[in-house]
Amino acid sequence: MRKDVIELDHLSKCYGDYVAVNDVNFAIASGEFFAMLGPSGCGKTTTLKMIAGFEQPTSGRVVLDGVDVSAVPPYKRNVNTVFQQYVLFPHMSVFDNVAFGPRSRKTKESDVRRSVMEMLEVVRLVDFAPRKPSQLSGGQQQRVALARALVNYPRALLLDEPLAALDLKLREAMQIELKRIQREVGISFVFVTHDQGEALTMSDRIAVMSQGVVEQIGTPSEIYRSPATLFVAGFIGSANLLPGVVTSTDGVDLVVKLEIGSTVKVAKGDNDNFVVGSKVSVMLRPERIRPTSSIPANGEGIEGILTDLVFQGPTARLILRLANGTELICITDAWRDTPVQPGDRTSVTWERDCGYVLAGWPDRAGATTTNVDQIEAAL
C-alpha cells in the first residue's frame, strides 16, 4: 500500500509582495524518486528548503511521516539534503567524512564502521575509504557526499541540482548511478533540477513547476505524452505547437483549422473541454511526424521548405520553414534515407493519433526549441 513520507499541504512562500511558491499541494511516497522540475526562479529550491526546514512557509504545512513539522528546525527533521556544492571535509578521509554524522551522534565505533562500509559499498567506493577528497574525481566526490547524507538512513534525501557541477558524460552516468543507489537504499529522493532529461531519466514522478505553481504532476511518460498545459508541452522535450480553432467535433476527433491555413484532424483523447470555437494548439512531437516530398492526398499535412538537415548519429534533425515563417522540427531515424534535401518543398504528415490538443495559443508558434535566446532566458 502506498505510504506518504512527505506531504506538502497547500504550501506558499512570499518574500514581501513576491509569491515564490503558490499553493503547492502534493505528497511523496515512501521509496519514490520524485523530481521538481522547472526553469530558474520557478520556486523549486524554495519548496525543497521548506521541506528541509531552511525556509518557513508563509502559509500551509509540511508533514513528515504524518507529523506536522512546519515549526521543527532542520536538524530535528528526519531528512537530509545534498546541495550542488557538496562540501566535503578536505582534511578527512572518505571514511571519516561519511562517519562524521554517526560519530557526532556518539554512535558506537563498531556500528559506525559497519554502517559507513555498508554505505561505501552502495556507492561503490569501498576501495577509496582511506583517500582524501582531493584524491577523488568529481563523480567520486559526489558519491561520498551521497554516502554521507544516506548513512543515517533518513526518511527522505533532498537533492538540489546535485549533478549540475559535473560535465555532461559524467552527469549522464551519475543519473543512472543515482537511480541505482536510490533503488538499493529504498529511501525517497526529492530531486530539484531544471534539466528535463535528468528528471525524465531518474524519476518515478515529476512535478513540473512554473512561476511558483505546480503545472502538472505525473510519471515521465504521462507528462511527455499528455502534457496538461502549453508550458509543460514546451518545457519537456521539444514540441511543435500549432495554434488553431476547433471547427467541428464528432466525439472521437477534433477538426482544427490551423492559423497557418491547413485543417487537421486530431484525436480528442479524454479531454471534453474543447468545443467548436475553442482556441487550441495542436502539439506534434518532432519524432512523431514524417517528412515527405509529396502532399498527402487526405490534406492532412503541413507544407513548407526544408531549411536544415543535421545528422546527429542515431537520428537526423530536420527544420521545415512554413510560408508564414513558423519553424517545425522533425526528428527521423538517421539510418533511413530522408526523401528530401535542404531547399526542397517538403510536407510533414503524421498518423491520426500522433497529434495532441492543448488549450490556448502559445506565445510563439512552431518548434519550442529553436530560439536560443528564449531558451537561455528560461533556464
CB of 74 to ligand ATP, least distance (A): 16
Contact between 194 and 161 under an 8 Å Cβ cutoff? The reply is: yes
Output the nine-digit C-alpha cell for 223.
Answer: 507528462
Nearer residue to ligand ATP within complex by CB, 128 or 191: 191
The whole-angstrom separation of Cα 181 and Cα 150 is 10
Quick one: which of 315, 371, 330 has its CA closest to 239? 330
Contact set for ligand ATP, span 105-134 (CB under 6 A): none
Select from 41-49, 112-120, 304-312, 356-364 the region that touches ligand ATP (CB under 6 A): 41-49
Q: How far is the CB of 40 from ligand ATP (least distance, A)?
A: 3
Distance of closest approach, residue 379 Cβ to ligand ATP, in angstroms? 8
- Chain positions 1 to 20 lying near ligand ATP, rule: CB under 6 A, are 15, 20
Of the pair 157, 328, the CB lying nearest ligand ATP is at: 157
Residue type, 88: L
Q: How many CB atoms lie within 10 A of CB 113?
A: 14
Do 21 and 38 form a contact (C-beta atoms < 8 A)?
no
Options 3-11, 44-52, 127-135, 197-205: segment touching ligand ATP (CB under 6 A): 44-52
- Give the shortest CB-41-to-ligand ATP separation in angstroms: 4
**Which residue's CB is nearer to ligand ATP, number 194 or number 288?**
194
Three-state SS for 256-318 is EEECCCCEEEEECCCCCCCCCCCEEEEEECHHHCEEECCCCCCCCCEEEEEEEEEECCCEEEE
Beta carbon nearer to ligand ATP, 18 or 335 = 18
Nearer residue to ligand ATP within complex by CB, 42 or 302:
42
Please state the closest distance from residue 357 (CB atom) to ligand ATP, in A: 29
| Member of 44, 148, 288, 290 binding ligand ATP (CB under 6 A) | 44
What is the closest distance, in whole angstroms, from the C-beta atom of residue 122 to ligand ATP in the complex? Answer: 28
Q: Strand 156-160 and strand 188-193: pairing? A: parallel
- The DSSP letter of residue 375 is H
Q: Which of 104, 88, 195, 203 is nearest to 143 (CA)?
A: 88
Out of 28, 33, 45, 166, point to the residue binding ligand ATP (CB under 6 A): 45
* Binding piece for ligand ATP, criterion CB under 6 A, among 33-41, 76-84, 299-307, 349-357: 33-41
What per-residue string of b and e applies to 198-208 under the rule 16 or more CB within 10 Å gives b? bbbebbbbbbb
The stretch among 36-44, 181-189, 270-278, 365-373 that binds ligand ATP (CB under 6 A) is 36-44
Please answer whether residues 299 and 308 qualify as being in contact, where contact means their C-beta atoms are separated by less than 8 angstroms.
no
- By CB under 6 A, residue 195 contacts ligand ATP: no
Residue 57 as a binder of ligand ATP (CB under 6 A): the answer is no
Pick the binder of ligand ATP from 38, 57, 154, 162 (CB under 6 A). 38
The SS3 assignment for 97 reads: helix
Least gap, CB of 217 to ligand ATP (angstroms): 16
What is the smallest separation between the CB atom of 155 and ligand ATP, expressed in angstroms? 22
Looking at the Cβ atoms of 192 and 241, the one nearer to ligand ATP is 192
Cα–Cα distance measured from residue 114 to residue 80, given in angstroms and rounded to the nearest whole number: 20
Tell me whether strands 33-37 and 205-210 are parallel, antiparallel or unpaired.
parallel
CB-neighbour burial class of residue 2 (10 A; exposed 0-12, middle 13-18, buried 19+): exposed
Q: Is 194 in the site for ligand ATP (CB under 6 A)?
A: yes
Using CB under 6 A, list all residues that contact ligand ATP.
15, 20, 38, 40-46, 194
